[in-house]
Structure 1
Amino acid sequence: MNFTATVLGTAAAALLVIAKLQAAPEPGRDLGNSFAGTNVVSLDRTTTGSIRETGATPAAVRLIDLRSGASCKVAGSQPAPGGFEPVPLGTDCAASPELSKVSQWRATGDGTLEMADAKGRTVMRFMPGDGVLYESVYPRDALVTIVPARS
């Protein structure tokens, strides 16, 4: 009987300690980052305002057709959201069966980039990519990426 009472008493004490550890912190108490041993510091917008935005549009982009190996540069900035406008493709794009069809492009409100032929029919669609600016998603068999151009 004493053994059972001792075990139950110890278990109850342990549950109270665990409950106390899991409780929300007291209001107004700055805990900082207890894992890293540092305090939380608020950002100074005047300092971080000078850092270039990661989503900033590059001055020129390079389209790379991974199937044919063709690579061409598009000078100027990407299109603004709205209707199709002429795309200034480099002459090297003619080496790609996919890119040779393109004559217009437009950005859409949902972040996609569409490329169309001379009649305005969408021939390629791109989504923001992981590690690249855009990856082709339409047509399904196209493997074209868009990356920032180096000079």
Structure 2
Amino acid sequence: MARVSVQEHDFDPGAELASLTDGRTDIGAAVSFVGLVRDIHGGDQVSALTLDHYPGMTERELEKIADEATKRWPLDDVRIVHRFGHMLPGERIVLVITLSAHRRAAFEACDFIMDFLKTRAPFWKREETAQGDHWVTAKASDDANADRWKTD
């Protein structure tokens, strides 16, 4: 069910959504999230972002995250597109689309997937700033967001 793409080139969110929903009458909700490169982070002006990844391992981890979402919510489909490489502010980085018969499941699953993409997906970010290039470290707030989904 889940379709995962890790790619260097840009994507068209509208085309991706249409490819999942056109002609479908069994879904009541399609929720999408598009993440963009910001031009400021931690007070520094960002001129570019480079995302590195581990091919093969990255796709498998994204599939695991999507599979976990489909176990938790009644989803009809999931689409994740994540870019890697050199990107400029305003460019698209990630797309998550969740489809379900009901909006609550689609919203929650999309939120869950993004929280786990931020914390479990094997991507490494390097920002280019006037102060020099630096690797972006994990934020406690991202971990806290992911922790709310724990089902101990």
TM-score (norm 1): 0.25
When you count strand as a share of all residues, which structure comes out higher? Answer: 2
Who wins on radius of gyration, i.e. which is larger?
1
Higher helix share: 2
Return the TM-score normalized by structure 2: 0.24
